[in-house]
Amino acid sequence: MFTVRVSAQPPVPAGAVPSGVDPAGRWADAGLVSGEAVALDVRAARLGSRVLALLIDVVGQLFCAALLALTLTPLVLIVLPDQVVDRALTGALETLGLVLVVVGYPVLWERLNHGRTPGKLAVGLRVVSADGGPVQWRQSLTRALVGAAVEWPGLVLPLLSWVAGATVMLTDPRGRRLGDLVAGTMVVHTRTTHPWRPAPAIVAPLVGWAATLDLTRLDDALALAVRQYLTRGQQIVEPYRSRLARELWREVAAVTAPVPPPGVPEPLLLAAVLAERNRRGSLRLRHQRALTAALWPDPAPATPAVVAPAAADPPAPAGVRPAAPVLRSASPDRPA
């Protein structure tokens, strides 16, 4: 359900930033910890993403309301006699339809789709308990009733309740609304966002050593593991980040030669090996393209031949009549 951090989190001193949380508040700001004291890499959903999910769900609710109106009304008119169908029955059916659309829609979807309505599924959100567990029937019903009463559509003082709900969501550290606070739930992102980081470049003191490396036994799987460590290693807490670097370098050193300079940290050695491998791969690809172009050159575009205009016959001398054209017979035996 969630991405689990690599290490158990020790007690964090007051005022300090936990190692699993980005100082800017972009990572693991939901504050969820598993029963084994492992921090969960989960982000709490804020006002923007939740409003977008709500707009999608409103479209779904309107579709459900239209479907109920088109199916329930003819059914009532067919089954019940005319003397029974009055204004009171019509009002009761309208109230029942409103409850089904406003309350039943989110409750059924959250229970049958693991805390996700169609809007939350499209945006990548999920309703969970405050401790990270799955949402229960009671919690889904409570948050739906509170939401219908004071948030959306807000049957009690709509404008005032909307302002109060938005204020609560903006001020709560986990972005919870009034229904979440009453039901003991919260909404989290199910799609973890990882910033793209390019692989570190080789440092200058290791350029000469990297140029002499024998990389013939370094396979693609190990090179991919090195690249993933170099681009995502900042997400691993210490001391596991350093331990993973040592294990990766042990595997890389077993298939490469010569021995690196002493005293160089393992991440710098891994970056040097990967950068040298990428450099050689780029050179190899460039040579292959040049060889292919030399063996099979691209055909030059055919240029249309320029036809020179025919030279005009020179003018006849004065007093000489120009020759008349000779007409030949179709039969070769008969002179013209």
Residue 225 pLDDT > 70: yes
Q: Do residues 164 and 270 both lie within one domain? A: no
Residue 235 pLDDT > 90: no
Is 331 a domain residue?
Answer: no
Q: What is the pLDDT of residue 240?
A: 87
Is 234 a domain residue?
Answer: yes
Q: What is the pLDDT of residue 306?
A: 52
Q: Do residues 138 and 102 both lie within one domain? A: yes
Checking 29-32 for CB contacts under 8 A at 24+ apart, the result is 29/173, 29/174, 30/132, 30/174, 30/186, 30/188, 31/173, 31/174, 32/2, 32/131, 32/132, 32/188
Domain count, the chain: 2
Q: Do residues 140 and 231 both lie within one domain? A: no
Is 287 a domain residue?
Answer: yes
Q: What is the pLDDT of residue 1?
A: 47
Q: Do residues 173 and 132 both lie within one domain? A: yes
- The mean pLDDT of 20-31, rounded to a whole number, is 50
More confident residue, 33 or 109: 109
Q: What is the pLDDT of residue 25?
A: 41
Q: Per mean pLDDT, which range of 6-20, 100-114, 168-182, 310-324 is the poorest?
A: 6-20
User: Which domain does 280 fall in, by range?
Assistant: 204-294
Is 252 a domain residue?
Answer: yes
Q: Do residues 53 and 185 both lie within one domain? A: yes
Q: Do residues 181 and 53 both lie within one domain? A: yes
180 pLDDT tier (thresholds 50, 70, 90): very high
Q: Do residues 116 and 241 both lie within one domain? A: no
Is 95 a domain residue?
Answer: yes
Share the mean pLDDT of the chain.
Answer: 78
Full-prediction pTM beyond 0.75?
Answer: no
Q: Do residues 93 and 159 both lie within one domain? A: yes
Alpha-carbon gap, residue 1 to 50, rounded angstroms: 19
153 pLDDT tier (thresholds 50, 70, 90): confident
Q: Do residues 171 and 145 both lie within one domain? A: yes
> Which residues contact residue 206 at a Cβ distance below 8 angstroms, ignoring those fewer than 6 apart?
260, 261, 264, 268, 269, 272
Q: What is the pLDDT of residue 36?
A: 54
Last residue of a domain, one of 162, 189, 216: 189
Q: What is the pLDDT of residue 22?
A: 43
Last residue of a domain, one of 159, 189, 219: 189
123 pLDDT tier (thresholds 50, 70, 90): very high
